Structure 1
Amino acid sequence: MDPHLLRTYVTVARLASFSAAARELGYTQSAVSQHIAALEQDLGTDLLTRRPVAPTPAGERLLEHAGPLLLRLEAARADVVRRAAAPEHGLTLATTPTALGPRTVAALPRAGVTLRVLAREEVPEAVAAGRADLGLVDGLAAPSDPLRLPDVAPLTTYGVGEESVCVLLPDTHPLAGRPGLRLGDLAHARWLDAPDAGLPLAQLRAAAGGSGFRPALRYEGTDVRVLTALAAAGHGLTLLPRTAATGVPGAVAVPLAQPRVVHRVELVCLGTPGGPAARLAEVLLDGGAGAGTPV
């Protein structure tokens, strides 16, 4: 299967338009049509309906495979280019907002660093595609259990830190004086849905048994300070790692007593890092979980 044809197909399916795909890819519309026809001939089935432009059932199935396949090709190219490049290039670190803790900030080189704060699912993709030398991802997990990351490329992850989690609520909230809270008791409370700034509600549902946690407000941003301000103002509760939840004006961080979960941070890399990336990884792994896990 020709990856150029596959990339054209994914673009047409995403934009639902042959002409729009041609403009984005820099092809003529005729060339795009020829790419789709060639791919359909190769697979022996129709992949798109034409009016309207939409994937057929076979096309939907191909889309499930296409993303990981194309990303793995990008990962292979990035790995080869990185190994052939000069070892002392700058460092690009992709991270989620709550994975970037004080220890990581202190360990960053004093110059030549590009820091990219991304959504959780974008961090592994950035590393796999060579847009970042290293990645930091985080989430809820049982103590010492690895995170479940999407299978986007042959990446390796290392546990670099775990800490307790807290429910952040206004200091006037009836539960603000509690020594600890049970997550299951808060399933029907007002929650903030901030998948890219805090811990996603889907993870809370999974930890509490799979129900509840309906959002009162959705925040589509990556600034943790905005999220904590919303919680302090009473727009909803949020669950954060202890260091991010502590010391917020007008809010109280109450430790989560049950279930027994932690905020886990993992380092993501493609192959063996070199230069500044290797030195940062060494610092972060000193005191972390240590062993690498392929994903």
Structure 2
Amino acid sequence: MCMNSQQLRTFVTVADHRSFSAAAQALGYTQSAVSQHIAALEADLEAPLLTRRPVAPTEAGERLLEHARPLLLRLDAARADVARLRRPRPGRLAVAGAPGALTPAVTRALARARTESPQLVASMRVCGRGEAVQAVLTGAADVALVDGAVAATDPLPLSGADFLTALPVGEEPLAVLLPAAHPLAGRTTLRLADLAAARWIDAPDAAAPLAQLRSAAQSDGFGVQFTYTGTDTRGLSLLVAAGAGLTTAALSAAADLPGLTAVPITEPRIVHRTELLHPRTPTSPVLELVELLRRA
């Protein structure tokens, strides 16, 4: 028997939950069915994919996960793309947005879109960039608003967004956030390379991912002092003010944060970029939002 998407989805769920019983509950299967899927997949690939006590991916399992996740996402995206053609939702505007992408211009456009179409069912979910992209690919959202730190002429590097249309909606200086008493807080500008040896907070869903800073600075630095999971930018700013490490933000968003100083990064020329992503067959509310953002 050759592997199929059902088996792959079961395998990924078991690997994520580190439990056959928890995976069965999440998928709505019996534990016996989950075990059969894994056994069939291991027989087909002629390799053990999971250890049992504790449940964890083997080396072969880790390699399969690298392929399985994007494959399953593409299958879900294909299903959602076809569903949009058969059952368009012209009265819905569901937005999935990264916190740093919700700039004043974006939020004004969202509010205006709702005001100009009183019958529109509008919603906003704040989440990480990857989750926002995935929400549009799978049909859970109509648009994604994402941000990141890139060279001024570069698009955002977004995994899985190949089949979505990207619209730049904002670009402004990127700033490093420093505690007010930090030795560099009095500077008017900073070079990114000068910050490579500093202590950083790894907050990939609430600030520019450190991988993007390493790429821009062409450095292996930017070591992690503190890991922050979540999208609450206020909590992140409080950690910076308390000395837990540095982070970045759009210069305008960082202007009024208490206990912090925002210093723009001028070398290399790296910017905080915001993009809107939508399917190739957008609904009329999405097109209206795009037009509002273009005029902003």
* Coarse TM-score class (shorter-chain normalised): 0.7 to 0.9
Q: How far apart are residue 286 of structure 1 and its match?
A: 4.5
Moved more, 116-125 or 165-174: 165-174
Identity %, equivalent residues? 57
Inter-CA distance 147–41: structure 2 relative to 1 (3 Å threshold): same
| 1:121 paired residue number | 130
1:266 is matched by which residue type in structure 2? E
Q: 5 Å matches for 1:207-286?
A: 207-286=216-295
Aligned counterpart for 2:196 among listed residues 170, 179, 187 = 187
Q: Distance in 1 between matches of 2:205 and 2:67?
A: 25
Inter-CA distance 92–60: structure 2 relative to 1 (3 Å threshold): same
Q: Does residue 35 of structure 2 align to residue 33 of structure 1? A: yes
Name the SS of the counterpart of 1:61 in structure 2: helix
Moved more, 37-46 or 13-22: 37-46
C-alpha contact (below 8 Å) 1:127/1:134 kept by paired residues = yes
Deviations 1:222-279 (A, max 9, x none): 1222323333444433221111111223332222121111111122222221121221
Q: Distance in 2 between matches of 1:80 and 1:16?
A: 33
| 2:117 paired residue number | none
Q: What's the Cα RMSD here?
A: 2.4
- Structure 2-normalised TM-score? 0.86
Q: Does residue 73 of structure 2 align to residue 71 of structure 1? A: yes
Name the SS of the counterpart of 1:213 in structure 2: coil
Unaligned runs of 5+ in 1: 288-295
Q: How far apart are residue 152 of structure 1 and its match?
A: 6.0
Deviations 1:145-186 (A, max 9, x none): 111111366223222221111122233333233221112222
Q: How far apart are residue 102 of structure 1 and its match?
A: 0.8
C-alpha contact (below 8 Å) 2:93/2:122 kept by paired residues = yes
Inter-CA distance 52–91: structure 2 relative to 1 (3 Å threshold): same
C-alpha contact (below 8 Å) 2:151/2:216 kept by paired residues = no
- Structure 1-normalised TM-score? 0.86
C-alpha contact (below 8 Å) 2:134/2:160 kept by paired residues = no
Aligned counterpart for 2:207 among listed residues 192, 198, 201 = 198
C-alpha contact (below 8 Å) 1:71/1:152 kept by paired residues = no
Inter-CA distance 55–220: structure 2 relative to 1 (3 Å threshold): closer
Q: Distance in 1 between matches of 2:22 and 2:89?
A: 40
